[in-house]
C-alpha cells in the first residue's frame, strides 16, 4: 500500500488510510521521538489501536509495518518522556489531527509528495541500473570461468569435455570462493542440499517443510547482536513424508553486513572480521529471500529456542517486519534441548556415561560422594588446555566458561558484562548504570556474591 506522508523535523511520518481513518506508521513515530527500537514504543499501545499494513518506503520496497490509530497516539504521548515528545505533540494536535478531522483523510504535503515520488523513481532507476550492471559482470565472470574450465579439461581429459548445456558446479555461498569441476570430481553441496543432511534426516517424517538454520553474530545478546553470516537448508517431505531437498531454493548461505564493526571477541569465535562482511548484503536486503525460505516451515537450530530464533526475530523487526514469518503453530526443533533430555545431568546419569555402569545406592551420602569422585576423575582427563598439574581453580574456571559466577548470572561479552537473569536479561552492566541505576543498586545490595564482580567491572569503565 502506498503511504501518505508528512514531515516532522526532517523525519517522514507515513500513514495509510483504512475506513476513512488514518493509521500512522509506528516506526516513523519511534524515530521522530528518538527510540532506537520500535518495539519499545509499540508496547505502550493497546492492541486494539494497532493494525498491520505493507507500506512502500522511499526505496520502493514494500515492508510490513505496525500502524497506530489516533487514540493510540494519545496513549504514546501520555506515556513517553522523550525530549521531542512535546514538540511532536504540538505538531500532531495543531497540524495533523485537525486536517484528519476536517477532510477525513491524512493529506500529504503536495511538495513533499512530489519530491518523495521523484526520489522513489530515481532510486528505482538507480537500483535497476545497478542490478543490470551486476548481472552483466556476473555473466562475464561465469563465462570466463567456464572457458578456463573447458580449456583445463581439454588438457587433462579430452574424452570428457563439457557438452552444450552442462553447468559447472559451484558452492552457492556469496562471499565464499568457488571452484569449477566436472560432475565426476565434485559433489554439489548447495543444489540440492548437502547429501549428508538428507541422509541424517532419513528417520524424520516431514508433514511441512523443515529449515535447518545457523547464525554467526556480533555477540550473544539477542536484543542487540547482529547477524554476520546465515546458513539455511530447506527440506521438504514427499507424499510419504520422506525428507528431500527442496527443488526450488534448497539453500541460502551468505555473509551479512551488520553495518557496524564486529567486536574482536566475536571474531575470535567465528573467524569473521568486519573487513570480511563490509559491502555484503544487509539483512534488510535479504529479508524477503529469508522469509520465502521459512514462511511455511518449521525450524531446526542448535540452541535455537534461546538464541537463533529470538535474534532472527529482532533482525526482522529492525527490517520493518512485525514478526518472524511463519505458521502460527510453527515447531522449533532444538538439538541442544533434546540433548539435555537425552543426557540428564543427574549424578546417576553422569556416572553411567563416564563409567559405563549404574551408580548403586544412589542418594546414600557415602555412595554419592564415591560416585562423584569417579565422575570427576574421568572429567579431569577431558579438560582441555591444562598442564599436568590440574588445580581446583582450573576446574572452577573451566566450569564457569564465559560466566563470572557459577550461578551463571553474569557473563562476559567482549569488553562488556551481561546480566543473564531477570527482567533486564541480556543488558550490560554499563547500560544498567546509565539507564536503570536503581536496579543495579538492588543487584549489588541483594545478590552478595555478584557484588565484587559488579564493582570490579564498573571500576574499570
Residue 304 falls within a domain, yes or no?
yes
Q: How confident is the model at residue 30 (pLDDT cuts 50, 70, 90)?
A: confident
Q: What tens digit of pLDDT does each residue of 330-339 get? A: 998 888 777 7
Q: What does the pLDDT read at residue 55?
A: 83
Contact by Cβ (8 Å): 410, 420: yes
C-alpha–C-alpha distance, residues 194 and 232, integer Å: 11
* From 32-36, 220-224, 247-251, the region with the lowest mean pLDDT: 247-251
C-alpha–C-alpha distance, residues 318 and 425, integer Å: 20
Domain range for 36: 4-108
Indicate the residue among 108, 138, 170 that finishes a domain: 108
| Residues 333 and 415 both lie in one domain | no
Question: Is 160 a residue whose pLDDT tops 60?
Answer: no
Decide: helix, strand or coil at residue 195. helix
| Residues 103 and 206 both lie in one domain | no
Total number of domains constituting the chain:
3
Contact by Cβ (8 Å): 426, 223: yes
| Residues 322 and 446 both lie in one domain | no
| Residues 94 and 199 both lie in one domain | no
Contact by Cβ (8 Å): 65, 26: yes
| Residues 217 and 331 both lie in one domain | yes
How many CB atoms neighbour CB 383 within 10 A?
Answer: 13
Report the percentage of the chain scoring pLDDT > 70. Answer: 76
Alpha helices in 183-255 (DSSP H): 195-200
| Residues 328 and 201 both lie in one domain | yes
Contact by Cβ (8 Å): 31, 310: no
Question: Is 153 a residue whose pLDDT tops 60?
Answer: no
Using alpha carbons, select from 444, 438, 442, 439 the residue that is nearest to residue 458: 444
C-alpha–C-alpha distance, residues 285 and 332, integer Å: 25
C-alpha cell at 72: 493510540
What angle do the packed helices 309-318 and 283-294 form, to 10 degrees? 120
C-alpha–C-alpha distance, residues 284 and 181, integer Å: 34
Residue 404 falls within a domain, yes or no?
no
Tell me the sheet residues that pair with 211.
Answer: 234, 299
Decide: helix, strand or coil at residue 336. helix
| Residues 223 and 308 both lie in one domain | yes
C-alpha cell at 452: 565484587
| Residues 424 and 315 both lie in one domain | no
Using alpha carbons, select from 278, 274, 254 the residue that is nearest to residue 263: 274
Contact by Cβ (8 Å): 217, 224: no
Q: What tens digit of pLDDT does each residue of 162-196 get? A: 344 333 222 333 333 233 222 222 223 344 445 66
Q: What tens digit of pLDDT does each residue of 342-366 get? A: 776 777 878 887 788 887 776 566 7
C-alpha–C-alpha distance, residues 205 and 182, integer Å: 34
- Cell 505533540 belongs to 89
Question: Is 237 a residue whose pLDDT tops 80?
Answer: yes
Q: What does the pLDDT read at residue 192?
A: 42
Report the percentage of the chain scoring pLDDT > 90. Answer: 16
Q: What does the pLDDT read at residue 200?
A: 65
Question: Is 158 a residue whose pLDDT tops 60?
Answer: no
Q: How confident is the model at residue 281 (pLDDT cuts 50, 70, 90)?
A: very high
| Between residues 393 and 254, the one the model is more confident about | 254
* From 30-39, 199-208, 221-230, 268-277, the region with the lowest mean pLDDT: 199-208
| Residues 219 and 315 both lie in one domain | yes
Residue 170 falls within a domain, yes or no?
no
Alpha helices in 361-427 (DSSP H): 365-380, 392-400
* From 153-167, 267-281, 284-298, the region with the lowest mean pLDDT: 153-167
Q: What does the pLDDT read at residue 71?
A: 82
Residue 157 falls within a domain, yes or no?
no
How many CB atoms neighbour CB 420 within 10 A?
Answer: 20
Averaged pLDDT for residues 393-408: 83
Close Cβ partners of 78 (under 8 Å, ≥ 6 residues apart) = none
* CATH number assigned to the domain comprising residue 245: 3.30.420.10
Indicate the residue among 43, 75, 108 that finishes a domain: 108
Question: Is 104 a residue whose pLDDT tops 60?
Answer: no
Please state, in angstroms and as integers, the Cα–Cα distance from residue 66 to each residue in 26, 32, 41, following that order. 6, 15, 11
Tell me the sheet residues that pair with 67.
Answer: 25, 51
Using alpha carbons, select from 94, 331, 84, 112 the residue that is nearest to residue 204: 331
Decide: helix, strand or coil at residue 214. strand
DSSP 8-state code for residue 96: I
Question: Is 312 a residue whose pLDDT tops 90?
Answer: yes
Averaged pLDDT for residues 269-284: 91
| Residues 14 and 96 both lie in one domain | yes
| Between residues 459 and 25, the one the model is more confident about | 25
Residue 60 falls within a domain, yes or no?
yes
Alpha-carbon 259 to chain mean position = 14
Contact by Cβ (8 Å): 164, 157: no
Residue 176 falls within a domain, yes or no?
no
C-alpha–C-alpha distance, residues 257 and 275, integer Å: 10
* From 173-177, 248-252, 414-418, 439-443, the region with the lowest mean pLDDT: 173-177
* From 87-91, 187-191, 230-234, 323-327, the region with the lowest mean pLDDT: 187-191
DSSP 8-state code for residue 20: T
Residue 97 falls within a domain, yes or no?
yes
Averaged pLDDT for residues 283-290: 93
Q: How far apart are the first and last CA of the chain?
A: 48
Average pLDDT, the chain: 77
Averaged pLDDT for residues 3-18: 78
Averaged pLDDT for residues 224-236: 91
**CB-side neighbour CA atoms (13 Å) of 386:** 17
Residue 172 falls within a domain, yes or no?
no
Using alpha carbons, select from 195, 191, 187 the residue that is nearest to residue 243: 195
Q: How confident is the model at residue 390 (pLDDT cuts 50, 70, 90)?
A: confident
Averaged pLDDT for residues 302-312: 89
Indicate the residue among 276, 310, 337 that finishes a domain: 337
Amino acid at each position: 500500500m502506498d503511504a501518505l506522508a508528512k514531515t516532522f523535523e526532517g523525519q517522514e511520518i507515513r500513514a495509510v488510510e483504512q475506513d476513512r481513518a488514518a493509521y500512522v506508521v509506528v516506526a516513523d513515530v519511534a524515530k521522530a521521538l528518538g527510540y532506537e527500537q520500535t518495539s519499545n514504543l509499540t508496547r505502550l499501545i493497546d492492541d486494539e489501536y494497532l493494525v498491520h499494513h505493507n507500506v512502500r518506503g522511499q526505496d520502493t520496497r514494500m515492508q510490513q509495518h505496525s500502524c497506530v490509530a489516533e487514540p493510540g497516539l494519545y496513549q504514546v504521548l501520555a506515556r513517553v518522556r522523550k525530549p521531542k515528545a512535546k514538540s511532536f505533540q504540538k505538531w500532531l494536535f495543531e497540524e495533523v489531527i485537525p486536517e484528519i478531522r476536517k477532510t477525513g483523510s491524512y493529506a500529504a504535503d503536495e511538495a513533499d509528495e512530489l519530491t518523495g515520488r521523484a526520489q522513489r523513481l530515481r532510486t528505482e532507476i538507480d537500483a535497476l541500473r545497478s542490478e543490470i550492471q551486476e548481472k552483466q559482470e556476473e555473466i562475464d565472470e561465469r563465462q570466463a570461468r567456464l572457458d578456463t574450465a573447458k580449456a583445463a579439461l581439454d588438457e587433462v581429459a579430452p574424452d570428457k569435455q563439457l557438452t552444450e548445456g552442462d553447468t559447472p558446479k559451484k558452492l552457492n555461498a556469496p562471499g565464499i570462493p568457488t571452484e569449477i569441476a566436472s560432475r565426476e570430481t565434485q559433489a554439489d553441496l548447495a543444489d540440492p542440499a548437502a547429501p549428508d543432511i538428507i541422509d541424517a534426516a532419513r528417520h524424520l517424517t516431514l508433514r511441512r517443510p523443515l529449515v535447518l538454520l545457523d547464525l554467526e553474530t556480533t555477540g550473544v545478546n539477542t536484543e542487540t547482536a547482529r547477524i554476520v553470516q546465515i546458513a539455511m537448508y530447506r527440506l521438504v517431505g514427499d507424499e510419504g513424508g520422506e525428507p528431500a531437498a527442496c527443488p526450488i531454493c534448497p539453500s541460502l548461505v551468505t555473509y551479512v553486513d551488520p553495518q557496524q564493526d564486529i567486536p574482536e571477541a566475536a571474531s575470535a569465535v567465528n573467524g569473521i572480521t568486519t573487513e570480511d562482511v563490509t559491502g555484503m548484503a544487509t539483512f534488510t536486503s535479504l529479508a524477503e529471500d529469508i522469509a520465502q525460505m521459512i514462511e511455511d516451515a518449521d525450524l531446526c537450530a542448535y540452541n535455537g529456542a534461546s538464541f537463533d530464533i529470538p535474534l532472527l526475530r529482532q533482525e526482522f523487526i529492525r527490517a520493518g517486519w512485525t514478526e518472524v514469518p511463519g505458521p502460527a503453530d510453527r515447531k522449533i526443533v532444538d538439538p541442544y534441548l533434546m540433548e539435555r533430555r537425552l543426557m540428564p545431568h543427574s549424578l546417576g546419569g553422569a556416572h553411567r556415561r563416564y563409567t559405563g555402569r549404574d551408580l548403586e545406592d544412589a542418594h546414600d551420602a557415602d555412595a554419592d560422594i564415591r560416585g562423584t569422585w569417579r565422575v570427576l576423575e574421568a572429567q579431569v582427563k577431558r579438560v582441555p588446555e591444562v598442564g599436568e598439574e590440574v588445580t581446583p581453580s582450573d576446574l572452577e574456571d573451566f566450569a564457569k566458561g564465559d560466566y563470572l559466577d557459577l550461578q551463571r548470572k553474569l557473563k562476559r561479552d567482549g569488553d562488556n558484562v551481561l546480566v543473564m537473569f531477570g527482567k533486564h536479561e541480556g543488558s550490560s552492566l554499563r547500560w544498567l548504570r546509565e539507564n536503570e541505576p536503581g536496579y543495579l543498586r538492588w543487584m549489588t545490595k541483594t545478590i552478595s556474591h555478584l557484588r565484587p564482580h559488579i564493582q570490579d567491572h564498573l571500576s574499570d569503565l
